[in-house]
């Protein structure tokens, strides 16, 4: 726990500086690195890195997709990367098969998921940064992910009794999930209050509350989804890159779900 807290104290302010103060190009570079590392960790977790070239294909594709969003060519670049990645994967599978090396469909699917879908969803962070008032909007999915996680943990510690997902996440409680969502709504609304009184924005607090509610729910789902993958493959963490937190994917698993959902909600009804 001590190591976890120390890493958080160092990394959270650093992440805030990147998101809030640095230009979109810097945010894009950070997202590209996160996506590439997360892709590698996923493939390693499911055993696809026994063919190391799969990890290279997926990580390279994952790094390119956020750049496409930054260049505002996201649709073209995503389709191009997806086609090339599929061609590489299935071409490799065909060529390897005659040599007695079977590149299974599950490994190909994992490479497509890690190399294309995960980075596409994480690239919503870049989309938010590029918006007018983007330096504020881009903070929302991070507030949601981190506060929901913390709120669920502490609520679960003090009030948790019912364990609805014992085989997926044995420590997660119903009370913790509810507490995390409530804490998330409060945090996002408070963020809106801060913006209103310090930056002078006219804030739609109902929209902010909706971001918190939907974001909190989808964050819980994201955490459970990637916990399910870990249980299926019998691993505790996706990696050890972040001491006390596990791998990059352990820290940003819920962000894979939260970022695109918040981007969609902001597009439908902007809060300011």
Over residues 143-165, the pLDDT tens digits come to: 999 999 889 988 988 888 889 98
With bands split at pLDDT 50, 70 and 90, how would you rate the model's confidence at 52? confident
What b/e string do you get for 71-98 counting C-beta neighbours within 10 Å, with b at 16 or more? eeebeebbeebbeebbebbeebbeeeee
The structural domains of the chain, with segments of one domain joined by +, span 23-130, 134-272
Residue 44 has pLDDT above 70, yes or no: yes
No. of helices (H) and no. of strands (E), the chain: 12, 0
Cβ-based burial of 23 (10 A; exposed 0-12, middle 13-18, buried ≥19):
exposed
Confidence check: pLDDT of 41 > 60: yes
How far is residue 180's CA from residue 149's CA, in Å, rounded to a whole number?
Answer: 6
pLDDT of residue 12: 81
Query: Once rounded to an integer, what is the mean pLDDT over residues 233-252?
Result: 79
**Quick one: what percent of the chain has pLDDT higher than 90?**
64
Note the pLDDT of residue 261: 97
Would you place residue 7 in the very low, low, confident or very high pLDDT band (cuts 50, 70, 90)?
A: low
pLDDT tens for 168-202 read: 888 889 999 999 999 999 999 999 999 999 988 89
pLDDT score for 13: 86
Say whether pLDDT at 68 is over 80: yes
Split at pLDDT 50, 70, 90, the class of 96 is confident
At 192 the three-state DSSP class reads: helix
Question: Looking at residue 122, what is its pLDDT?
Answer: 97
More confident residue, 129 or 247: 129
Q: What is the pLDDT of residue 35?
A: 97
């Amino acid at each position: 726990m001590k190591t976890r807290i120390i890493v958080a104290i160092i990394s959270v302010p650093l992440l805030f500086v990147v998101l809030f103060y640095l230009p979109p190009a810097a945010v894009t570079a950070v997202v590209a690195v996160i996506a590439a590392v997360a892709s590698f960790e996923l493939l390693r977790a499911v055993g696809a890195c026994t063919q190391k070239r799969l990890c290279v294909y997926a990580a390279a594709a994952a790094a390119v997709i956020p750049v496409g969003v930054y260049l505002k060519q996201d649709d073209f670049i995503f389709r191009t990367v997806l086609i090339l990645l599929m061609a590489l994967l299935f071409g490799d599978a065909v060529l390897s098969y005659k040599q007695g090396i079977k590149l299974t469909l599950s490994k190909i699917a994992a490479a497509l998921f890690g190399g294309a879908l995960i980075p596409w969803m994480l690239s919503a962070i870049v989309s938010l940064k590029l918006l007018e008032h983007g330096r504020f909007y881009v903070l929302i999915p991070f507030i949601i992910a981190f506060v929901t996680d913390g709120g669920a943990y502490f609520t679960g510690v003090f009030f948790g009794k019912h364990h609805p997902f014992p085989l997926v996440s044995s420590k997660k409680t119903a009370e913790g999930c509810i507490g995390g969502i409530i804490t998330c709504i409060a945090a996002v609304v408070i963020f809106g209050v801060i913006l209103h009184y310090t930056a002078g924005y006219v804030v739609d607090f109902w929209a902010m509350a909706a971001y918190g509610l939907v974001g909190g729910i989808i964050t819980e789902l994201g955490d459970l989804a990637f916990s399910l993958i870990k249980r299926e493959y019998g691993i505790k963490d996706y990696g050890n890159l972040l001491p006390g937190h596990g791998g990059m994917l352990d820290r940003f698993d819920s962000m894979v779900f939260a970022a695109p959902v918040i981007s969609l909600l902001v597009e439908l009804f902007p809060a300011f």
